């Protein structure tokens, strides 16, 4: 999420909340222990460098929906609905 906030294109695994934060417009999620997927994702970005800034721009925009204030607000709403 920090890298996304800084406008970076992301290649990562489905660890933690990555699948929740990311989508196909902000980067690439590769499976654990799949060096072939890492290689393919990185080579694809290197072969199409024009996509890197676009991933970064969209990542920055998407990260704005995960600010601490918004996450706290969403949690409060969920908790209140359970009471």
pLDDT band at 70 (very low <50, low <70, confident <90, very high): confident
Region for 16 from its dihedrals, namely left if φ exceeds 0, alpha if ψ lies in -120 to 50, beta otherwise: left
Average the pLDDT over 37-60 and give the result.
Answer: 94
Task: Give 62's Cβ-side CA count (13 Å radius).
Answer: 24
| Rg value, the chain, Cα | 15
The pLDDT score that the predictor gives to residue 59 is 93
Mean pLDDT of the chain: 91
| Residue 1 confidence (pLDDT) above 90 | no
**Rounded distance, CA 4 to CA 21, Å?**
9
Helix (H) or strand (E) holding 75: helix 68-82
Confidence of residue 2 (pLDDT cuts 50, 70, 90): confident
Share of the chain above pLDDT 90, in %: 61
pLDDT at 58 over 90: yes
């Amino acid at each position: 999420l920090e890298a996304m906030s800084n406008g970076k294109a992301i290649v990562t695994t489905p660890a933690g909340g990555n699948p929740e934060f990311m989508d196909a417009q902000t980067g690439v999620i590769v499976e654990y222990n799949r060096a072939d997927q890492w290689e393919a994702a990185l080579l694809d970005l290197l072969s199409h460098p024009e996509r890197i800034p676009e991933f970064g721009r969209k990542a920055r925009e998407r990260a704005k929906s995960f600010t601490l204030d918004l996450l706290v607000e969403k949690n409060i709403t969920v908790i209140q609905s359970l009471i």
